[in-house]
Structure 1
Amino acid sequence: MSKYKNNLFFDLYFIFSSAFILMLLQTLLRGVLLWRNNDLTASIPSHDLIHAFLTGLRFDLIVTVYALLPLIIGLLFRKGLSNRKAYTVWLTFVSSVMIFLAIVELDFYHEFHTRLNSLVFEYMKEDPATVLSMIWYGFPVVTYLIIIGLMITALFCIFTVNSRINQAKSTDKTRYSLRMTAFLVVLLISVVAARGTLRQGPPLRWGDAFQSNYLFANHLGLNGVYTLAKAVIGTKKGDNKWLKKMPLADADSTVEEMILTPSDQLIDPEYSPVLRSYHARVGLTQKPLNVVFILMESFSGEYVGALGHDEGITPEFDKLAKQGLLFNRFFSNGTHTHQGMFTSLACFPNLPHYEYLMQQPEGSNHFSGLIQMTADRGYQSMYIYNGDFAWDNQKGFFGAQGMQHFIGRHDFVNPVFSDPTWGVSDQDMFDRATEELQKMPKDKPFFAFLQTLSNHTPYALPTQLPIAKVTGHGELNEHLTAMRYADWALGQFFKKVAKSNYFDNTLFVLVGDHGFSTPNQVTDIDMLKFHVPLLVIGPDVVRKYGHTNSTVGAQVDIAPTVAGLMGGDTTYNCWGRDLLNINDAGFAVIKPSGSDPTTAIIDDNKVLVKSTDNNATLYNYELLPKASANTLHDAVDTEKLEHRLDAYIVSATSTLLRGKAGIKTPDNRVAVN
């Protein structure tokens, strides 16, 4: 019996001691990366670097668990981990991969200031011979190979000695029930470890490393094997279909025709076909405008009175529409809040396979949307949200983009209502926003992003509603009641801020993050899930531009439009246009969230939908008096719009994968608070 216990004990000891060695190795490699990029650490506080190493242990643990899978599975064998030589070879192999990638990453990071990602594959695909030549002549390849060889040899010796120390000499058969119990316990520990976190909800993601005010400290907390593995998955997805649609040069040329206006000056077409300097008209005021951007959860245009649907759901918004400029043919780029956030603020489109960009390694691009644009002008920035910023990796993503201050669900004291799922109610969020905006220093302008949440199942609504419940809409009654409540909270906010000393010098931008399902799907992409209102309120907006605008637009157009209203010159890499400074009817590229590959382009009163079988269908649509669409059989228009749709997606995807979706930053600092 004692011999049996020793066999199992030695197997478990071998697994956990091997895990310790792998963790120690990855920490050492992180230290080497720190040493190689020591020039970036001069102004970084020591506690930030320590925190980066502690965060890195969590990412290392994920990689370690996957590396140990053969050993964990080996516990199921009746003889256990008796074949130590095979496991030693395996451990040496995975260690070799870690070491090789870490050495490669030393100069990769020093050159690009990013951890290993899809850029590795993009470079190799461009011209392998040229890239290999560049590596051979530009870096100490021989020295690195010697170091790699020495480290691998040392690891092989360490694993060999460790396997012999922890190998039982007894060959007695073990009782399988106890071995199975041990396997289940180790498996449970491994599953928890592979998540990298004990929190409920999503596992550890790259954005969890972004806790410092210094980009290198944040990157140091990541694991190169982890980021590269994520990039491999993403690159394979992207390569399967879209990047083979047409030559990139053709796609870029088409995109330039679609997006650039006479007021745009293209900066570097090889970097990005939309990186340009935009010379706007004279701004609304002589002094800088504050910008308050409000993203309304599930604020469907189909139930907005100001858009022709007077069912009493949005009386407050309808009143506000009379004070500003309403875009009545405006669409969300996706059908999830995740897409609504990054398309609106980062002005980058919702692409197939990258619908959850803020959670993917490609989201580490430094986009050039509203956060960057206002930061370039010296604005303060603040993000106020009902919920938890860990959801959709909001703080990780927007913190990396430069958002300075975050106020989320855990920062509210004695809220009127707090839902255990989402957080506080919309009126709590707007009340806190009123207080925070009033406290903003007046010596420089501010940019505030406010996001509502109550209009989302399970609907964070107070027990005593300040509005009448919606009836007569069947299963939509509860949803529309939440929408009416969100509208009421919005109205209360404006009644308060209208009395503030900053109101007359502030540009308010209100938009729905997406719509929601209704019985009327219109086309096979369900257009009403994308139709949302865009309302702009600010000094002289109505006098200069009127009350309504019928130009077709999408959320990627918001940042350029705001830049136009602010006036002056702006440099950005936006995939939209200033809707108030174009001479055509506008367009919008839209796509549902999730794995649905359906895409569409809306052009004036036509919409072309590419379905899952890659067939394109052209429709003529209208939104009023009731949304409807008719199939068109126009081969010329179908071919033209399909080409534009494909070009837009191909060009944007390529730019994203090459790490050129934003503007290069002058240093390694990012603002996180």
Structure 2
Amino acid sequence: MQKNDNNSLFSDLYFIFSSAFILMLLQTLLRAILLWRNNDLSAAIPNHDLIQAFITGLRFDLIVTVYILLPLIIGLLFKKGLNNRKAYTLWLTFVSSVMIFLAIVELDFYHEFHTRLNSLVFEYMKEDPATVLSMIWYGFPVVTYLIIIGLLITALFFIFTLNSRINQTKSTDKTRYSLRMTAFFVVLLISVVAARGTLRQGPPLRWGDAFQSHYLFANHLGLNGVYTLAKAVIGTKKGDNKWLKKMPIAEADNTVEQMVLTPSDTQLDPDYSPVLRTYHARTVESKKPLNVVFILMESFSGEYVGALGHDEAITPEFDKLAKQGLLFNRFFSNGTHTHQGMFASLACFPNLPHYEYLMQQPEGSNHFSGLIQMTADRDYQSMYVYNGDFAWDNQKGFFGAQGMQRFIGRHDFVNPVFSDPTWGVSDQDMFDRAAEELQKMPNDKPFFAFLQTLSNHTPYALPTPLPVAKVTGHGELNEHLTAMRYADWALGQFFKKVAKSDYFDNTLFVLVGDHGFSTPNQVTDIDMLKFHVPLLVLGPNVVKNYGHSNSTVGAQVDIAPTVAGLLGGDTTYSCWGRDLLNIHDAGFAVIKPSGSDPTTAIIDDNKVLVKSTDNSASLYQYQLLPIASASEIYDTADTEKLDHRLDAYIESATSTLLQGKAGVKTPNKGMALNDQSSE
């Protein structure tokens, strides 16, 4: 009888541990599929690093496995043990199905964004499910993936069913419960250790533990998509913001003042904001105020811009324009999503951890400084022309509250040349309409116009026939680069039209990419090429005064101050950037990926410090030409200096945001918008 009891307990233990083995094998298989899908990223990675990624991945997989097996572990407490194998088999099949579904989704998610599953998934889905589903349907092999998912789930169901029947013994005798309790506590102890992912004292396994290679993809491969997605759900509360309180706020503000303020700035109220100041620009050579046309180009990566040294014939029109204007060749986006490109460029506020989707968060109700406020203070008319729907990213709500006067979006176009069912009208339609509207602007006031492109975005739906030749020779990037070439063509057509207008010679044109995109060359742990974008300025006397090229390091938060300098006179703002044409150092940029990826970085001249929230930091020396690359360097003084500046910048900016002091001070401002530290 005792033998039967032991066999029954042994059967339960076998079922638990064999199920764990199956789950571990499944996750290793899914990691191998991710490696296969992104083989272009692994080509240059040594086999040793890839093997290490799989070994590290086992530790993350083990954490996920333990949580999946909790119902089975708890089942050991029942007197009949795990006799209801059918229910447990269904549970294991269900969670494995979710795991498989997420892994298949992650194949193209990673290929597109170069990050494991994170909060970006939720940000997309909560926007407009219909638009997102349309993008997925038209942009990816959905049917093929569904078939693969179905086959894998079916196979897993049969494997789990077969496994549940092996060594299963049934006994009608009462189980010696003390033995079962002992087994439960032993398994529970093993599970607790396994769920930590490490035997070390202190914190359990963390994101940063996967970063053991000089190759970013190898580090990401060691992570687990379910793990990173779960962390995005439960680990992004603002109360857990590890970037805050790294130093006294007075010290952070003082550091920011040294980083941002220039001799041409008069600080107004340091107790309100360290960057609130009046900027005294040089006098411009213009009889009347300059108009401003700001163009934000979707996914306009600097890595494929001819004028930046990449002779790929992707951007011939932009390259022609670059010869007429001033091109910044070490310029970076503050984030890797259009959302961050918009608020960093227009609102002059950085992309911060936990506030990557500022335009949709309560803190976005700050009245920010930036191009809209600056031009409104000068009594400019303002207009926003866009291919898509302004409901996406809360664009109309956010920019309307910031003072944008007029919006023209996808529903305002009549008989467009091409309309994509996912996003809206084509870039050439957007630029044609913009040219028409600019021509109709009343000439009694200067104007500020914001134009945003969209065709260079998945699913890359373009007019037929295409006005440009398709790009070849770049593998999976051919379609993306064809869309970029088309966007460049549409830009060229726009300038051919507006060059004939009566306002052209009195207008400042500013062109910038909202962000780059993933390429096989992942430079440093933050994938720098996703941030490298061109900034081009064309206007009266720009080349005469500043030349054709500028190598100062800058980011999108520097655009508004630079425009303020070109407009001339005094401008009051709380911008977190500087006039790149009126500084005497090499410049800096603070950048962060979109989503809950905790990585941040500060670029200073030819060095970049990459940091995660676990305080691990790596210092690199980088180059963008002839081939973008970086090598890790070990300079304690520079590492400590840049680490301190990065911490101070993020802490100070976050503090002003939470206190409602991110913009220009007004009589009714100064009260905190959000006194609580958690969501």
- TM-score clears 0.5: yes
* Stretch of structure 1 that moved more, 377-386 or 603-612: 603-612
Q: What is the aligned partner in structure 2 of residue 517 from structure 1? A: 518
Change in 2 beyond 3 A, CA 1:296/1:262: same
Distance in 1 (alpha carbons) for counterparts of 2:576 and 2:423:
31
Deviation at 1:281, TM superposition (A): 0.8
Deviation at 1:504, TM superposition (A): 0.1
* Stretch of structure 1 that moved more, 497-506 or 613-622: 613-622
1:360-439 matches, cutoff 5 A: 360-439=361-440
Aligned to 2:544, the other structure's residue is in SS state helix
Q: What is the aligned partner in structure 2 of residue 453 from structure 1? A: 454
Aligned to 2:630, the other structure's residue is in SS state strand
Deviation at 1:304, TM superposition (A): 0.1
Change in 2 beyond 3 A, CA 1:427/1:629: same
Deviation at 1:201, TM superposition (A): 6.2
The AA in structure 2 aligned to 1:318 is D
Q: What is the aligned partner in structure 2 of residue 240 from structure 1? A: 241
Q: What is the aligned partner in structure 2 of residue 469 from structure 1? A: 470
Aligned to 1:313, the other structure's residue is in SS state coil
Cα-to-partner distance string for 1:429-471 (whole Å, 9 max, x where unaligned): 0000000000000000000000000000011310210000000
Cα-to-partner distance string for 1:114-146 (whole Å, 9 max, x where unaligned): xxxxxxxxxxxxxxxxxxxxxxxxxxxxxxxxx
Deviation at 1:286, TM superposition (A): 3.3
Q: What is the aligned partner in structure 2 of residue 264 from structure 1? A: 265
Deviation at 1:198, TM superposition (A): 10
Change in 2 beyond 3 A, CA 1:307/1:199: closer
Q: What is the aligned partner in structure 2 of residue 249 from structure 1? A: 250
* Contact map agreement 1:284 1:541 (CA 8 A) in 2: no
Distance in 2 (alpha carbons) for counterparts of 1:453 and 1:472:
24
Cα-to-partner distance string for 1:328-367 (whole Å, 9 max, x where unaligned): 0000000000000000000000000000000000000000
Cα-to-partner distance string for 1:256-277 (whole Å, 9 max, x where unaligned): 0000000000000010000000
The AA in structure 2 aligned to 1:296 is M
Aligned to 1:484, the other structure's residue is in SS state helix
* Contact map agreement 2:621 2:632 (CA 8 A) in 1: yes
- List 4+ stretches of structure 1 deviating above 6 A: 195-199
The AA in structure 2 aligned to 1:403 is M
* Contact map agreement 2:242 2:613 (CA 8 A) in 1: no
Change in 2 beyond 3 A, CA 1:198/1:422: closer
Cα-to-partner distance string for 1:284-325 (whole Å, 9 max, x where unaligned): 423100000000000000000000001100000000000000
Aligned to 1:542, the other structure's residue is in SS state helix
* Contact map agreement 1:423 1:460 (CA 8 A) in 2: no
The AA in structure 2 aligned to 1:607 is V
Q: What is the aligned partner in structure 1 of residue 600 from structure 2? A: 599
Change in 2 beyond 3 A, CA 1:522/1:198: closer
Change in 2 beyond 3 A, CA 1:236/1:405: same
Distance in 2 (alpha carbons) for counterparts of 1:541 and 1:490:
20
Q: What is the aligned partner in structure 2 of residue 218 from structure 1? A: none
Distance in 2 (alpha carbons) for counterparts of 1:237 and 1:667:
26
1:294-309 matches, cutoff 5 A: 294-309=295-310
Q: What is the aligned partner in structure 1 of residue 657 from structure 2? A: 656
Q: TM-score, structure 1 length as denominator? A: 0.64
Q: TM-score, structure 2 length as denominator? A: 0.64
Deviation at 1:235, TM superposition (A): 9.9
Change in 2 beyond 3 A, CA 1:433/1:608: same
Deviation at 1:246, TM superposition (A): 1.1
The AA in structure 1 aligned to 2:430 is M
Q: What is the aligned partner in structure 2 of residue 540 from structure 1? A: 541
The AA in structure 1 aligned to 2:633 is L
Cα-to-partner distance string for 1:210-244 (whole Å, 9 max, x where unaligned): xxxxxxxxxxxxxxxxxxxxxxx999415531112
1:574-593 matches, cutoff 5 A: 574-593=575-594
Distance in 2 (alpha carbons) for counterparts of 1:377 and 1:234:
43
Distance in 2 (alpha carbons) for counterparts of 1:462 and 1:358:
31
Cα-to-partner distance string for 1:546-579 (whole Å, 9 max, x where unaligned): 0000000000000000000000000000000000
* Contact map agreement 1:453 1:460 (CA 8 A) in 2: no
* Contact map agreement 1:280 1:569 (CA 8 A) in 2: yes
Deviation at 1:611, TM superposition (A): 3.0
Sequence identity percentage: 87
Change in 2 beyond 3 A, CA 1:418/1:243: same
Correspondence 1:567 to 2:584: no
Distance in 2 (alpha carbons) for counterparts of 1:289 and 1:664:
26
Distance in 1 (alpha carbons) for counterparts of 2:277 and 2:500:
38
Distance in 2 (alpha carbons) for counterparts of 1:419 and 1:587:
38
* Contact map agreement 1:238 1:353 (CA 8 A) in 2: no
Q: What is the aligned partner in structure 2 of residue 344 from structure 1? A: 345
Distance in 2 (alpha carbons) for counterparts of 1:474 and 1:637:
39
Distance in 2 (alpha carbons) for counterparts of 1:348 and 1:487:
28
Distance in 2 (alpha carbons) for counterparts of 1:429 and 1:437:
12
Distance in 2 (alpha carbons) for counterparts of 1:390 and 1:550:
37
The AA in structure 2 aligned to 1:332 is S
Distance in 2 (alpha carbons) for counterparts of 1:275 and 1:519:
41
Distance in 2 (alpha carbons) for counterparts of 1:569 and 1:299:
32
The AA in structure 2 aligned to 1:523 is T
1:37-436 matches, cutoff 5 A: 200=130, 236-237=237-238, 239-436=240-437
Aligned to 1:602, the other structure's residue is in SS state strand
* Contact map agreement 2:350 2:557 (CA 8 A) in 1: yes
Change in 2 beyond 3 A, CA 1:487/1:284: farther
Q: What is the aligned partner in structure 2 of residue 632 from structure 1? A: 633
When the two chains are superposed, the root-mean-square deviation of aligned CA atoms in Å is 1.9
The AA in structure 1 aligned to 2:572 is T
* Contact map agreement 1:275 1:573 (CA 8 A) in 2: yes
Q: What is the aligned partner in structure 1 of residue 151 from structure 2? A: none
Distance in 1 (alpha carbons) for counterparts of 2:398 and 2:543:
34
Distance in 2 (alpha carbons) for counterparts of 1:357 and 1:285:
36
Change in 2 beyond 3 A, CA 1:201/1:313: closer
Distance in 2 (alpha carbons) for counterparts of 1:354 and 1:385:
24
Aligned to 2:437, the other structure's residue is in SS state helix
* Contact map agreement 1:596 1:612 (CA 8 A) in 2: no
1:19-30 matches, cutoff 5 A: none
Cα-to-partner distance string for 1:25-55 (whole Å, 9 max, x where unaligned): xxxxxxxxxxxxxxxxxxxxxxxxxxxxxxx
Structure 2 gaps, min length 5:
1-124, 133-233, 670-679
Distance in 2 (alpha carbons) for counterparts of 1:611 and 1:240:
12
Distance in 2 (alpha carbons) for counterparts of 1:247 and 1:235:
23
